[in-house]
Chains A and B, each alone.
Chain A
Amino acid sequence: GAVVSQHPSRVICKSGTSVKIECRSLDFQATTMFWYRQFPKQSLMLMATSNEGSKATYEQGVEKDKFLINHASLTLSTLTVTSAHPEDSSFYICSASGPPQETQYFGPGTRLLVL
């Protein structure tokens, strides 16, 4: 159990366009979902935390108007990178947790390349 999927697994887009990444918990209800970013040779950095039905909480330095997060149901959260630029190229990873253990399970990640 505890499977989290992400779609797409990789995406290439032009600078200035927007990209949407989906994160789904397949076999449990995720009351909380997290979005992380990982640059090459670095560790994961938390971008934001979202609870189902409420606004996301963003970490310091993460622009909420650029990284739009929606957590409309207990199994789906989306991250939209708006007006993407080459510096947004990174590995984006979501995780999901739910009661009772609140263990976070991670998706396989989405590799974004902005040209």
Chain B
Amino acid sequence: DAKTTQPPSMDCAEGRAANLPCNHSTISGNEYVYWYRQIHSQGPQYIIHGLKNNETNEMASLIITEDRKSSTLILPHATLRDTAVYYCIEKFNNAGNMLTFGGGTRLMVKP
């Protein structure tokens, strides 16, 4: 079973920041927080991951709380193409470690 909890759905206005929360209160010290998204009928797309420091790349920013029990994925300027299901997943960074997908958050970006 997935060990993270996410709201099932969220709406965001086009051009505004989308803030997607994730709770991972049982995360262990060596587990990373990974974010993927799946646009309809496509394979999941890697977005970003982090251990304890905040991370930023060309797609998004990841803010991890100091106690590491929750995190927020931020899409700074959401577009209609960001409409997707977003998955927050805990994973060790060892070879062969699997991803366990939960229900994710269905983000709908509206004009």
Contacts and interface: CB of A to CB of B under 8 A. Distances in A.
Interface in A14-46: 31-32, 34, 36, 43-46
Interface string B32-51: 00101010011111100100
Interface string B91-111: 001111111111110000000
Mostly helix, strand, loop or mixed at chain A's interface? strand
Interface string A89-115: 001010101010111111111010000
Interface string A37-70: 0000001111001010000000000000000000
Contacts, number: 57
Contacts of B103: 43
A31 B99 CA distance: 16
Contacts of B44: 44, 93, 95, 106
A101 B97 CA distance: 11
Nearest to A45: B101
A95 B100 CA distance: 13
Which interface class (under 10, 10 to 19, 20 to 34, 35 or more) fits B?
20 to 34
Nearest to B94: A102
Interface residues of A, number: 28
Nearest to B93: A102
A74 interface: no
B45 A32 contact: no
Contacts of A49: 96, 98
A13 interface: no
A104 B43 contact: no
Given A108-B42, A108-B43, A34 B98 contact: yes
A109 B101 CA distance: 16
Interface of A: 2, 4, 6, 31-32, 34, 36, 43-46, 49, 51, 91, 93, 95, 97, 99, 101-109, 111
Interface of B: 34, 36, 38, 41-46, 49, 87, 93-104
